[in-house]
Amino acid sequence: EKKHDVAIHWFRNGLRFHDNPCLLDACQKSESLLPIYVVDPEFPFAQTAGCRAGTIRANFLLESINEVDEKLRKMGSQLVVVLGKSHEVLPEIVATTQAKALFYEQEAAAPVREQDAETIQAIKNRLKRDGKNYECKFEAYATHTLHPMERYLAQCKDHTAPSTYGSFTKIFNKMSVAKEVNEVKEVPSLPNKSVKLLEKSFAEALRMPTLKDLGYAAAADDMKNSGKGGYAFAGGENAAIELLAKNMARSQWVATFEKPKTSPNDATRPSTTALSPYVKHGCISPRRFYHELSKVYSKYNSKETSKPPVSLHGQLMWRDFNYLVGYSTPNFDKMIDNPIARQIPWDDDPDLLLAWKMSKTGYPYIDAIMTQLRETGWIHHLARHSVACFLTRGDLWQSWEDGATVFEEYLIDADWSINNFNWQWLSCTAHFYQYFRCYSPIAFGKKTDPNGDYIRKWLPQFKDMPAKYIYEPWEAPIELQKKVGVIVGENYPHPIVDHKLVSKNNMSRMKEAYDAQKNREPMPANESHSSGL
């Protein structure tokens, strides 16, 4: 097959050189290749239109794309970073370079798919307007998951995702995860003439931006110490591969990993792999992760290893399942007109939402988790469960859509499909319906951290609070409160609600909402998820 004179590789997710079929093909099928990354300075690294990434995710992504650039430069190329909206800048770039192909990794998430469609249409329109007598081929690769969504759907009834993990597993088990492709070690040269033209037409917009350029108050140097100890995440493929190797070296732990048995509130380091920021942005390939796990499992008798849904293979399967449900459900990020969402009459109280977001609920366990989220961009799965339940059906009765938006801002691993799926789960909107089982903001954290070390770490004002009162400081005698410097009602809030009362009341509200929709659809059998409830 004749190679393209010039092609473009548009980096989005897939910020890596190992197991990257899209990049590999782009390199092998073109004489000259322009690797580009587009950043919208108004909404940098957004998942959903109009939602900027928080500083920590932005910094993680800048580190990751800087590393891509460094690696490309070692191969005699470079990453051309353009500031602008993809549907505006890409037509210009395609027209200037006269590229015959645009290679990119496809996203399953609806908002990104919609933006892609707009961008591709804009490129077609531009070429037509210019009267170009050639076509640009759009080469999309569905390699962000273990299998492409369409391959799953081909096996699903009515081309719709199954409603349970059990049914998904049956489909998954019929397929085998493809081998990795070779690492990209050389890239075709840049179309130098076109780059010169682009430099002219884009001027200041053609450069690797800094955090400040993108409107963030922090500079990259300020971010160096963020993350605190075991919870720091450096962006990029190198860090991803290192962390994967570190995890795999603990082979017994990997082989017997059971998600519900990991701790939401380990004060020193994550109790799970903490690979999600890297998986999310494709600094590590999901297949590499999956096959490395298989290698570890193969060293053990199969009876000794944990199994899905609780094993690490099981976690990667949850990921594909979440993507699939998000892919095949209209209005997946909303309650209204979302066919799998129960309609719940949530309250709308911005003050409660803000108190939850800014760690002012008066429940130290919840406030510590939200502090960790804001300060590091990562929290454990069961910590996510705890705060999501608290905001919605457990205590504050606020909409899961608002909670998902806050997560989308702060999480490094913020992922449209996984985030919305899990918020629906935790709020008993879809998939999980046992609303009478509720996380206690007091007792749940005590199980794994009776001394409250996690709270002491993230809320340092609690450092001298005796363990007896650390989950319920309002129960401490006032003299003690004064002595340790946490005075409820003065420098730490009263509990925002009485958990015992509201959680019971909320269960009745939920029952009412469910009863009102009894005939809506058959409820799938409840599944045991990784909740540890």
Q: Can you give the binding site for ligand FAD, defined by CB under 6 A?
A: 259, 270, 272-276, 279-280, 312, 315-316, 318-319, 322, 380-381, 384-385, 388, 407, 411, 413-415, 418-419, 422-423, 426
119 vs 371 by CB, closer to ligand FAD: 371
Instruction: Name which of 264 and 362 has its Cβ closer to ligand FAD.
Output: 264
Least separation in angstroms between residue 187's CB and ligand FAD is 28
Least distance (Å) between residue 321 CB and ligand FAD: 7
Q: Which of 27, 75, 11, 15 is nearest to 238 (CA)?
A: 15
Backbone angles phi, psi at 373, to 5 degrees: -60, -50
Q: Which of 465, 279, 479 is CA-nearest to residue 367?
A: 465
Rounded to whole angstroms, how far apart are CA atoms 113 and 506? Answer: 37
Rounded CA gap, 195 and 176, in Å? Answer: 42
Q: Is the peptide bond before 309 cis (omega within 30 degrees of 0)?
A: yes
Cβ 379 to ligand FAD shortest distance, Å: 7
State the minimum distance, in angstroms, from the CB of residue 225 to ligand FAD: 22
As a whole number of angstroms, the distance between CA 21 and CA 99 comes to 19
Report the residue number, 87 or 380, with the smaller CB distance to ligand FAD: 380
For residue 418, the SS3 value is: helix
Q: How far is the CB of 334 from ligand FAD (least distance, A)?
A: 16
Identity (one letter) of the amino acid at 117?
A
- Decide: helix, strand or coil at residue 81: strand
Between 276 and 285, name the residue whose CB sits nearer to ligand FAD.
276
Q: How far is the CB of 184 from ligand FAD (least distance, A)?
A: 23
Beta strands in 47-107 (DSSP E): 80-83, 101-105
Measured distance CA(26)–CA(352) in Å, rounded:
50
**CB closer to ligand FAD, 231 vs 471:** 231
Question: Strands, DSSP E only, in 113-239?
Answer: 137-141
The smaller minimum CB distance to ligand FAD, of residues 99 and 353, is found at 353
DSSP 58: H
CA dist 361 and 370 (Å) reads: 10
Task: Decide: 506 and 499 in contact? Cβ < 8 Å.
Answer: no
CB of 288 to ligand FAD, least distance (A): 12
Nearer to ligand FAD, 77 or 531 (CB): 531
Q: Which is nearer to ligand FAD, 112 or 465 (CB)?
A: 112
CB of 421 to ligand FAD, least distance (A): 7
